[in-house]
Amino acid sequence: MNTALLDILSRVDTPTVCNAIEVVQGKRGFDNFTRGTMICTQPGRAVVGYAATAQIAALAPPTEAPEVIRARRMAYYKAMHDAPKPAIAVIEDLDYPNCIGAYWGEINTTIHKGFGLSGALTNGVVRDLGDLPAGFPVIAGSIGPSHGFVHVRSIAQPVRIMGLLVHQGDLIHADQHGAVVIPRDAVNNLPIAIGKLQMTERLVLDAAQRPNFDFLAFEVAWAAFEKART
């Protein structure tokens, strides 16, 4: 991803990206986004990057030998360290919707930030809200106090986060609204689409913010808005 595109995507919210994808595709119906309300540890800060995926579980102790669990854990951290940047850790908690193990706390977020990742997306649990490092948003399914028996179950496999299917290397945009997977064939046209979207929205927003805005002014603005969208 070039620096200019990364800068544009990091300055807009996820709903804007979702709408811009529809502008690129020329139709409504884009549905590769999360469902439900998520927790964002740094609201207002979008996180953009390529997915580095893994699966965890925490409700019950692992049944594999300790040396197997440790080897997989270290392989996980190596994969995160080596992930092409910008990268987002996209971690599916297999206990969902009964997640109890906070994989994301002060230590793990600091490690991942130190590895150069931009943030994390998970259907699982986050904790240590007052101690998480700045500049590393975690978009999570819930908040909780314990790490349970958290352990890594798989690395670099497809994962599902709040209804969103994510493959290793997918381009993700996420913030306090949730996350989307940006289609590969839409990426290059997103800057123009975002610009067009923002311009057309101003037709209504500017009119609605003027003194003496009334229904007649709304009708005029809305007609211009609809014309610009076609």
Q: Residue ranges of the domains in the chain? A: 31-182, 190-229
Helices marked H in the chain:
3-10, 14-25, 66-82, 106-114, 190-208, 215-229
* pLDDT higher than 80, residue 229: no
Please state, in angstroms and rounded to a whole number, the distance separating the CA atoms of residues 83 and 221.
47
Q: How many CA atoms lie within 13 A of 146 on its CB side?
A: 8
Q: What is the pLDDT of residue 230?
A: 61
Please state, in angstroms and rounded to a whole number, the distance separating the CA atoms of residues 55 and 77.
13
* pLDDT higher than 80, residue 28: yes
Average pLDDT over residues 107-114: 98
The single-letter DSSP state of residue 88 is E
The pLDDT confidence band at residue 228, using thresholds 50, 70 and 90, is: confident
**Residue 125's closest CA among 92, 156, 154, 163?**
92
Q: Report the CATH superfamily, name and number, of domain 31-182.
A: Ribonuclease E inhibitor RraA/RraA-like (3.50.30.40)
Q: What is the pLDDT of residue 184?
A: 93
pLDDT (tens digit, 9 = 90+) per residue, 136-170? 999 999 999 999 999 999 999 999 999 999 999 99
